[in-house]
A = this chain, B = another copy of it.
Amino acid sequence: MSLLVVGSVAFDAIETPFGKTDKIIGGAATYITLASTYFTKKANLVAVVGGDFPASDIALLQSHGVNTEGLQIRENEKSFFWSGKYHNDMNSRDTLVTELNVLGDFDPIIPESYKDCEFLMLGNLTPAIQRTVIERLPKRPKLIVMDTMNFWMDIAWDDLMQTLSMVDVLSINDEEARQLSKEYSLVKAAQKILTMGPKVLIIKKGEHGALLFNKEQVFFAPALPLEEVFDPTGAGDTFAGGFIGYLAKTGDISFANMKRAIIYGSALASFCVEKFGVERLASLTDTEIQDRVQDFVDLVQFEITID
């Protein structure tokens, strides 16, 4: 089923203990769409870049099956740029540069051909823009998944609450879940957030895995223990892209299928961190993905007979 992804397509400059990059392709929607194309070839992108954005990077997305009809190119402006430096433990980073540029007044124009999309992934953007996307769709998608971050909780709370009330699945990290709910316990946080609109909540815990909640059930997917994390940039978006890509492929939004989608998302994220930027994510084979999913099965599988 067709997927619409809205979010940033951008330049990143990344420094880790293993090295540093010049400006490379980054942005939430880049990782989300690339990851999703391993499951669905109907990944429709809505984003904006400047005239400085290389045609080769757009071609990279297209070569993976991303439909870039909705990618606006503002010739005389500059692309969104983020630069960050990871600490030695890779769990924390400093933002060195954030230049909004074209993202500052992004108007998410949705091409006619996208308007029947059944799965909508709202990458991290201002909650007002995310809401505009929902409002511009003539028919509500079967599933709306939203990512956000602490920044919007700080400066756009009311907007965030309004957008949250309109989505089906929220994907955030553990600190964001605590900030949003004002609860330290993630179980209590989830209960509270599930009264704000979303029927399903994903709490990403980085190297500690991810939790999937609905009002009755909880599922935990571990992260794969890795020898080396080379660059964590984009791992959360890759996870989200794998998640919604798998749901769009199967068309099944049951909790049982969301569990599988979480495992596929986790598998893709475990590749993402192996190289800088999208390098590893852009070169996966189906066999590699299936083998990695098998690693997840092996990692958590046990046999217990409950008396």
Contacts and interface: CB of A to CB of B under 8 A. Distances in A.
Interface of A: 88-89, 184-188, 205, 208-209, 211, 217-222, 225-229, 256, 259-260, 263, 286, 290, 293-294, 297-300, 302-304, 306-307
Given A260-B303, A260-B304, A220 B225 contact: yes
A225 B187 contact: yes
B208 A225 contact: no
Contact of A209 (B222, B227, B294, B306): B222
A260 B299 CA distance: 13
A264 B65 CA distance: 46
A290 B306 contact: yes
A226 B220 CA distance: 13
Contact of A227 (B89, B185, B217, B286): B185
Contacts of A218: 225, 299
A298 to B, nearest CB: 8
Contacts of A228: 185, 188
A217 B298 CA distance: 9
Please tell me how many copies of the chain the complex holds. Answer: 2
A259 B228 CA distance: 25
Nearest to A208: B208
A220 B300 contact: yes
Most chain B CB inside 10 Å of its own CB: which residue of A205, A211, A297, A300: A300
A243 B200 CA distance: 34
A20 to B, nearest CB: 19
Nearest to A188: B227
B290 A297 contact: no
A259 B301 CA distance: 9
A186 B209 CA distance: 14
Given A184-B89, A225-B187, A297 B293 contact: no
A38 to B, nearest CB: 13
A299 B220 contact: yes
B219 A300 contact: yes
B307 A290 contact: yes
A217 B302 CA distance: 13
B187 A227 contact: yes
Contacts of A208: 205, 208-209
A273 to B, nearest CB: 12
Contacts of A293: 304, 306
Contacts of A256: 302-303
Nearest to A299: B220
A60 to B, nearest CB: 26
A302 B259 contact: yes
